[in-house]
Amino acid sequence: MRVLGIDCGTERTGYGVIDSDGRLHKLVVAGCIRSSTRDPLEKRILNIATELRAILAEYRPDFASVEEVFLAVNPRSSLKLAHVRGAALLVIAEAGVVFSEFSALEVKMAVVGYGRAEKSQVQQMVASILRLPEPLKSEDASDALAIAICHATNQTMKAFREAV
């Protein structure tokens, strides 16, 4: 299965695509969509949506997964994040790709085994799971890959439970 993970953000939206059989995961591509804070929010959202459409068209994932919205200390930040997440969900739906979402706790549990793991721990484990020579420099891309790994692992466990 091919899975696209998306880590939404108004300044940086991470993305990562993996191929997986549920046990072994292989990096296809990872990166970060950057938006200028000087641009109005609607222009940043358009940029993110345009880039995500191109990624979906080029890599044709079977599944796409996004982290659930969490309540930030600043409610305005949560609202902006929700706008970006909504744009990502729209683009995924337009592409006809199966969608899933996971909490940050679920992603960290799937990748690190500890729900309160630090970002650096997630980066290290993503590199280890994907057999990369070193962790990715971008935390956003690494988080997106963690979301994709979480989906692939959960999809496999779900199929196993249904088979039993």
Of residues 7, 51, 106, 143, which has the active-site annotation?
7
**Active-site annotation holds for 140:** yes
Kindly report the number of other CB atoms within 10 A of residue 22's CB atom: 15
CA distance 43 to 19: 32
- For residue 38, give both structure tokens: 């000087």
* 84 touches 75 (CB < 8 A): no
Which of the following is catalytic: 19, 58, 139, 140? 140
User: Dihedral through CA 153, CA 12, CA 45, CA 58, nearest 10?
Assistant: -50
Catalytic residue check, 67: yes
Which spans in the chain are helix H? 41-59, 75-95, 104-111, 119-129, 139-163
Catalytic residue among 51, 67, 106, 143: 67
Q: Residues with Cβ < 8 Å from 17, sequence gap 6 or more?
A: 2, 3, 4, 5, 27, 28, 29, 30, 55, 59, 61, 148
Residues with active-site annotation:
7, 67, 140
